[in-house]
Amino acid sequence: MQQTTIARSVEWRGLGLHSGRPARVTVLPAAPDTGLVFRTPCEGGTGDVLIPARAEHVHSTTRATTLAARANGESTAARRGAPPVSSAQTSPAAARVATVEHLLAALFALGIHNAEIEVEGGEVPVLDGSAAPFVTRLRRAGIRPLAAARRELEVRMAFEVGDADRWIRVEPGDGLSIEYAIEFAHPVIGRQRFVLEDLDGDRFERELAAARTFGFADEVERLRAQGLAQGGDLSNTLVLGEGGLLNEGPLRWPDEFVRHKVVDLLGDLALIGSELHARITVEKGGHGLHHALVRALVERPGLLAERAPLAELGRLRAFAQPG
């Protein structure tokens, strides 16, 4: 199977959920083996910094996933007209890109392996709080195959991260399947469970993409005092008060809350940098626990292995059959 990129560039504008400032993100085509790479202005305006969407660039998981240039200069800096992403020069310039998970979930679910993602304003715009606006325009832009084989990884052994109350269990599997459960002491949520069997772009768009981010009214002042949720409002966040849901209109699904958690998980799994074959079970997850999983997958020897192409698997199975 081939790698892919976006067929033409596509743009979104809005507010940053946490910064409250205007933000713009543009997804552009990229060459094979580029991966998903964010481009954002350097502090001081001396060029742009390139931040690969990889686990080692995670800076924060507080209420969102934030990526940052590595302090040791492993991220790349480039100017307009500089060499392409794959050959730009290294730079220690500091830069961060916040709230990347909804866009990354859309790219991951649609099977878009290579893209340059330009961000202005330091944060991907929240839009309506879901991944649906990203899916709609990415599909409208089109997906183009590239002349390079795609990389697929598979989980080779079962393992867990977390503790007795909040945990993730991962097992070998064909395709990517997820069972996710959440539990909140609020009557609108309670305990919810969602099962996703064998992720693909159509299923993601139909069952998950439109699920919105959510929060609690009694947390707003504390979050804003921490510099978070400055752009959050009822147009982009499901807000739960003591008496129920504060938003007008119905939920998009009765279990919209757990569906959004699955979207967040997919966006965080995109930081592995490859398609993934696994069965994942989550109990009371969040970005911090998701990234404990991702770090384990990429750092622990023997958990992941390259998956052989289908043609090679067929030859191996035929060889293994008795004559």
Beta bridge mates, 41 = 48
Left, alpha or beta for 26 (phi > 0: left; psi -120 to 50: alpha)? beta
CB 287 within 8 A of CB 65: yes
Please tell me which residue in 18, 102, 113, 287 is annotated as part of the active site. 287
Long-range contacts of 105-108 (CB under 8 A, 24+ apart): 105/131, 105/204, 105/209, 105/263, 105/264, 105/266, 105/267, 105/270, 106/131, 106/134, 106/135, 106/138, 106/204, 106/209, 107/27, 107/36, 107/134, 107/138, 107/270, 108/266, 108/267, 108/269, 108/270
User: Can 287 be counted among the known catalytic residues?
Assistant: yes
Nearest-Å Rg of the Cα atoms of the chain is 20
φ and ψ at 287, to 5 degrees?
A: -60, -40
Alpha-carbon gap, residue 69 to 54, rounded angstroms: 11
Residues catalogued as catalytic? 287
